[in-house]
Chains A and B, each alone.
Chain A
Amino acid sequence: MVDLETRLRETLQARAQDVEPTPLLWERVQQKRRRRTTLGWSIAGVATAVAAVVGVAILPNMVAGGPDDAPVVVGPAPVNPVNPRADVPPFVVIGEPGLVEVVATASGEVVHSFDVEPGAEIVDVAVRPSTRVPDLEVAWVQRIDGRHEIVVSRQTAEGFARYRLEEELAADAPAPSLTWSPDGRHLAWVVNSPAPGAPEEPGAVVRLRIADREDTELAPVGYSWNIGGGVRLADWVRTGDGAGTITGVSDDGQLTRFAVAGGAVEVLLEQAYPGQVPPAGESIEADPLPLTYADVAHPEGDESVRIELLASGRDEQAVPRLRAIVGPEVIELALPVDLVDADPASLRLAALGQAYAVLSLDQSHLFTRGAGLVGDLPVAGSRVLDFALGDEPSEPGVGPAAPAGLVLSDTLLATDGAEVFLLGTDGSRGQAAYQAPADRRVVAIAARPGTPGEAVLVLDDDSFVHLRPGAFRFSDPPQGPGFVSSALPARYQPRHDGARAPQPVWSPDGDYLAWLEHDGSGAATFRVVGWGPDGPGTGVTATDNAAFALRDGTAGYELIDWRWDDIAATVATLIFRTNDPDGVMSWSSGTLRRQADGAISDVEELGGEPDHGTTTLDSAGRFTLLLRQGAPEGPLTLVDAAATFVDLGSLTELGDTSLRIDAFGDGVVLYGNGLAFFIRADGVQRELPGGITAAAFVPTAGAITQPSAGHPRLDRCDATEADYPAAPAGTRQVYAHFFCGEDLSTFPVARRTVAPAVLTFALQQLFAGPDDHEQEIGFDSPFSGDTADLLLRATLDEDGNAVIDLRGEVLASVTLGHTATGRFVISVAATAFQFSNVEQVELRVDGSADRACDALAEDSDAPCVPYTRAWYEDVVAGPG
């Protein structure tokens, strides 16, 4: 008897012989190759900022979008955010070894791939200005077999024309580069040849060539100057009829301008630095910082913009800086986190039009002059590029876009002292939730963890401080107060009102509210109030209203954070902050113990740790640390749990005494002195409107409309989205997808929300199942009220990857046979893919993809890979 493994091998080999490829296969490969879209890049609804080094200037109006944008965005995203307001050219032409491609900037789709000879290394690319996609003409310089060649290729023509450069190249000088004349008629390039007679000396003879593209042989006229160092061509602008200026940049940052008039070319200027590219004849002193790369752009008219990459520091300690120079204005551009420590010599940039610049390393990034970083290039490691115009490709979409970035189910609430209101990520002021009495002002908002909208407001009337507990509720249209509150019994109120109102801090489980009080002595008092399901008070006196005197010397301390150290939540670390009379901020830690009956038994302040910072916890329990290095005006640094450092500059305008942060995901809101900033882990910052004195993130469940509060209703279950009336202004209408009868086609049920986290909201509504009326008219679903809490969290990164994390204990209550599993997946997919920027959906259970596979793919019959939009459209939504 032949053993099983041998028979298995023989069977597989025999069966394989049964299959022969058809002659059509090659043609199918060619067709798919031409229409492939392999590059991942999506526009995100988030913004970026430009931070100046001298002080900090966070430019206003950087963020587009309205309340639809999620206030919660996150790294560590694989790509940096894209500012949707940035005026990015619709196409970018990328040159890499063996590759010249035209890529749609927004989608990352490759719209054309030029033929490149095998083995060719692309060293410069220039788009012919008079051409546009889809009939783009591109010239590039390539190095192949040790030679340099200029290649000109047109999008609509097969192949390319190649012209060999046979001049000798100077060692260490820039490789040949090229630029087109503004009218696209002439092509200019430089070759940096060794200086004659002194080959061992650095320097190069710059040989500028200009050829008429319309001439068949591209016969150039040539000019040579010994200007040393070599030059790379950056730009060619028109200065008059038949006249123009070509600008070259040397590796040491010198600008060289060549005047072109008629058939003559002459060198106008050899040095121009810094500032606007100066008029002919003017010279400006060189900047002391070594410039590693520069490029010049002329957006319009006579205005020129120079983008510079500089090395700050020396040798191995050097780090890159990026800045734009517009006339007399020097704008520091914030580098993405992954480039702040890069070797400046490894970076390159290019500029065009509205001062777009690109850095090349492992990732390439796009900047604009006005808005700083606007996104990543879709191809990592691309070396040279240019930008191209053309009709922007229309983006396929099936519905409104969900906010990109991690969308946590939080709502940002802020106060200016007089009101508490919803705050949009663009800084827009939304629905008001609470109006402070005339004689009081809101000085703090403390959201209770783990609850839908519960919070405590701190009210100050200059004589007394009052805590006011309640819950935020929003509906559309507004119905009653947004903050349903009640008075806190006097015994729980702060007893001593010091110069500063207490900032209450919740324990992470929401079981305790604590703050420090000051009675004028040298010691602070730690106050703690137990909180039960019905509000303050648990019936245990020692828990409900406890006070602990801290050591002398803690006057002026402020409680910042409370973190349980153990799973049993019996020992906690407390973080205190203090400010000395000079305004120096420092931190110290303490410890707290809880007895088995819940009573707090011991609180102790353990001493100062001057290097410590203030911390905050996000909803996942991860901390973010804010450090001030060298108080009071030293740089602020954010450090998150992944040890990602974000330098914020000094931000002295926030002041140290009132400086606070609140965390959400990997981002924080940092505020003080009435200013507030939204800051992501990757360094993206935006200024929130002035006058904000406090802010908090509150779980969204309390801030969404309920099904009975304004959702449109129909009387049949086979309606389409078009059958529902449009949502009123200020609300978003999304759809949960249920079934209508036995068929596996899903049908939308409209739900309205004022909350920004629409993906989360739609899934919450899906998992709650159809309501009674909807069931009566025929809607059916695997979900019901029993699964209303199925969603643990939903996230969406900027590549469109949605992760839907389910609660295992809830999922366990759902009986899933083969059919039910299919209905489960299809309705989730239909609900998620209604958002046009969701590209794929990965299901998890309690954070585990494997557990989701086990639960939803019985007998391993379904490969455990994310569900893609293509799959959804082909299999579920498609005709088949």
Chain B
Amino acid sequence: MLGMARGEVATRSDDFATIFNVHHRRAVRLAYLLTGDPDNAEDIVSDAFAKVYRQWQRKDIDDIGAYIRRAVVNQANSKLRRRYLERAHASTRSGDDRGVLMVDELAGEKDQMWQAIQRLPDKQRRAVVLRYYEDLSVEETAEILGISPGTVKSQVSRGLDRLRQLLGEEVA
């Protein structure tokens, strides 16, 4: 026989909130390290979680932490592109054809290593942050960035060389 039970009202928001609570802090910090911009970090992370939510609803995610990390990297990448064009605008208006305004912004920064990290080209910085902050393997880093492990090694190596160069210049 048929049996009917009046159902209760329910949502999934509470479950996703739990995931958010577990992962959002580290996600914001990763976004900050990737972009060097604390104001943009939350914007990146909110975009990333909004996209993760859909996949999570579809139960397509095996490792939610890794998925969030990848989403943050992708969003940060988009944000960096935007910043690049903003700089192009700014440099045009100031007549600086080579300019990277960040140099001036960092002039007062005391932490030489942090200054140097922020002056890394974006690709090198992404690889360095994922390897040395997230402690990901070369293969894991390659997968997230969508490049080959060889390219990851190359970018990390060039990043470290660049850091040495920058620190040496700073010290000198």
Contacts and interface: CB of A to CB of B under 8 A. Distances in A.
Interface of A: 4-5, 7-9, 11-13, 15-22, 24-26, 28-33, 36, 38, 96-99, 113, 115-118, 149, 151, 158-167, 191, 207, 209, 217-220, 222, 742-744, 817-823, 825-826, 857, 859-863, 865, 867-868, 871, 874-876, 880
18 contacts: A5-B160, A8-B132, A11-B114, A15-B114, A17-B29, A19-B28, A19-B32, A160-B9, A161-B9, A191-B2, A220-B4, A818-B87, A818-B91, A818-B96, A857-B84, A862-B122, A875-B86, A875-B89
Contacts of B3: 164-167
A28 B46 contact: yes
Interface of B: 1-13, 15, 17, 20, 24-25, 28-30, 32-33, 38, 41-43, 45-47, 49-51, 53-54, 57-59, 77-78, 80-82, 84-89, 91-93, 96-100, 111, 113-114, 117, 121-124, 128-129, 132-133, 160, 163-164, 167
Given A8-B117, A8-B163, A164-B4, A159 B11 contact: yes
B82 A11 contact: no
A860 B77 CA distance: 12
Contacts of A220: 2, 4
A21 B33 contact: no
Most buried by B among A19, A20, A218: A19
A149 B3 CA distance: 10
A163 B45 contact: no
A217 B51 CA distance: 37
8 A-B pairs with the lowest CB-CB distances in the bound complex, closest first: A162-B7, A822-B88, A159-B9, A166-B3, A32-B50, A16-B29, A28-B46, A860-B121
Nearest to A829: B85
Nearest to B45: A25
A207 B50 contact: no
A839 to B, nearest CB: 14
Contact of A21 (B42, B111, B122, B163): B42
B158 to A, nearest CB: 9
Contacts of B160: 4-5, 8
Most buried by B among A5, A13, A819: A819
B132 A29 contact: no
A742 B93 CA distance: 8
A32 B47 contact: yes
B159 to A, nearest CB: 9
Nearest to B20: A26
Contact of B81 (A160, A862, A880): A862
Contacts of A743: 93
Contacts of A825: 85, 88
Nearest to B49: A29
A11 B85 contact: no
A16 B12 contact: no
B6 A826 contact: no
A237 B91 CA distance: 67
A11 B117 contact: yes
Nearest to A868: B78
Nearest to B115: A11
Contact of B122 (A9, A217, A860): A860
A36 B97 contact: no
A363 to B, nearest CB: 16
Nearest to B4: A163
A854 to B, nearest CB: 12
B85 to A, nearest CB: 5
B59 A876 contact: no
A508 B166 CA distance: 54
Secondary structure at chain B's binding surface: helix, strand, loop or mixed? helix
B78 A871 contact: yes
Nearest to B14: A118
A161 B7 contact: yes
Contacts of B58: 96-99
B85 A207 contact: no
B57 to A, nearest CB: 5
A826 B85 contact: yes
Given A167-B1, A823-B92, A860-B121, 20 more contacts: A5-B132, A8-B117, A9-B133, A17-B29, A19-B32, A25-B28, A25-B42, A26-B24, A29-B46, A32-B50, A33-B49, A36-B51, A98-B59, A167-B2, A744-B88, A822-B89, A860-B123, A860-B124, A875-B86, A876-B85
Most buried by A among B2, B12, B160: B2
Given A36-B54, A819-B97, A862-B84, A744 B92 contact: yes
Contacts of A859: 121
Nearest to B76: A863
B50 A33 contact: yes
Given A4-B164, A209-B2, A871-B81, A16 B46 contact: no
Nearest to B91: A818
A670 to B, nearest CB: 40
B132 A12 contact: yes
Contacts of A163: 4-7
A861 B100 contact: yes
Contacts of A36: 50-51, 53-54
Nearest to A211: B4
B64 to A, nearest CB: 13
Contacts of B81: 862-863, 865, 867, 871
A79 B54 CA distance: 21
A15 B33 contact: yes
A16 B59 contact: no
Contacts of B32: 15-16, 18-19
A661 B58 CA distance: 46
A826 B96 CA distance: 17
B38 to A, nearest CB: 5
A21 B24 contact: yes
Contact of B77 (A20, A97, A865): A865
A8 B113 CA distance: 7
B148 to A, nearest CB: 12
A163 B6 CA distance: 6
Given A4-B163, A161-B7, A25 B114 contact: no
Contacts of B28: 19-21, 25
A11 B78 CA distance: 25
Most buried by A among B12, B88, B100, B124: B88
A146 to B, nearest CB: 15
Contacts of B128: 8
Nearest to A16: B29
Contact of B8 (A4, A22, A97, A162): A162
A29 B59 contact: no
Contacts of B47: 32
B82 A875 contact: yes
Contacts of B80: 862-863
A547 B58 CA distance: 68
A822 B88 CA distance: 5
Contacts of A209: 2
A203 to B, nearest CB: 20
A742 B86 CA distance: 16
A867 B84 CA distance: 12
A819 B57 contact: no
Nearest to B102: A861
B106 to A, nearest CB: 13
Nearest to A17: B29
Contact of A29 (B8, B10, B50, B91): B50
Given A149-B7, A865-B78, A166 B88 contact: no
Nearest to A874: B82
Given A33-B50, A36-B51, A164 B5 contact: yes
Contacts of B133: 9, 12-13, 16
B2 A118 contact: no
A744 B51 CA distance: 33
Contacts of B12: 115-118
Contacts of A876: 85
A116 B4 CA distance: 19
B82 A99 contact: no
A222 B1 CA distance: 10
Given A26-B20, A744-B92, A871 B85 contact: yes
